[in-house]
Amino acid sequence: MTIKNNIEDVLENIKKCANNSSRNPEDIGLIAVTKTIDVDIIKEAIGYGITDIGENKVQELIRKYEEIGPAVKWHLIGHLQRNKVKYIIDKVDFIHSLDSYRLGKEINKRAKQIERTIECLVQVNVSGEDTKFGVSVGELKELLNELSTLNNIKVVGLMTMAPHVEDKEETRKYFKALKDLSDEMAKLNFENVEMKYLSMGMSNDFEVAVEEGANLVRVGSKIFGKRDYSK
């Protein structure tokens, strides 16, 4: 299978799952996750229509941005430390991993310095796993209220990572929980907060996520093949 075929397969699956849940496939954005993937291969994927790139690590995003530039939208999808915000603030279009007011303040400060407003998704630890980052379900409302006061970030939705399980059907309850949370938070009408995006679903479970309301899916190995972590 080539990257072109893989992209076509993923898009076809998104379309099928969207149709199954009476949704418009065009409303669902595909983010190609390029962790450990070489720039030449990323450029090949862009040539086949990929418009959004997701990176987990700040250093890797910077290195690839220097070669690819703003030809695509850049999503920082991994955990973000406050001391690294300054390195990516002029490069990213979306930050998916906002999970504290302190991080929000730092993003806001750095964005203000370069006269930008950064779109952010709040990462929610729906499963409650100790190994996952994200604000707890119970603390989400308070965090959104705090973030609504920051003028140079715009909260545009929620993100979560489901547990990695053999049977992807087991992830459904977590995706449904995030959709329900999103609907609940939308009704609160916080200033500067919009529940526009649900970023959920990866290579092993994006089909279920789409059926449960995801409109941003983060797909890596289903596009690029198994990762070589020795790189």
What is the value of pTM for the model shown? 0.95
Task: Let me know if residue 229 belongs to a domain.
Answer: no
The domain total for the chain is 1
Give 12-65 pLDDT, tens digit per residue.
999 999 999 999 999 999 999 999 999 999 999 999 999 999 999 999 999 999
Task: Let me know if residue 116 belongs to a domain.
Answer: yes
Task: Let me know if residue 230 belongs to a domain.
Answer: no
Task: Let me know if residue 172 belongs to a domain.
Answer: yes
Task: Let me know if residue 157 belongs to a domain.
Answer: yes
Task: Let me know if residue 77 belongs to a domain.
Answer: yes
More confident residue, 225 or 159: 159
Question: How much is the average pLDDT of 5-16?
Answer: 97
Please list the residues that pair with 118 across neighbouring strands.
153
Give 58-95 pLDDT, tens digit per residue.
999 999 999 999 999 999 999 999 999 999 999 999 99
Task: Let me know if residue 150 belongs to a domain.
Answer: yes
Task: Let me know if residue 220 belongs to a domain.
Answer: yes
Query: CATH number for the domain including 83?
Result: 3.20.20.10
In which domain, by residue range, is 150 found? 3-224
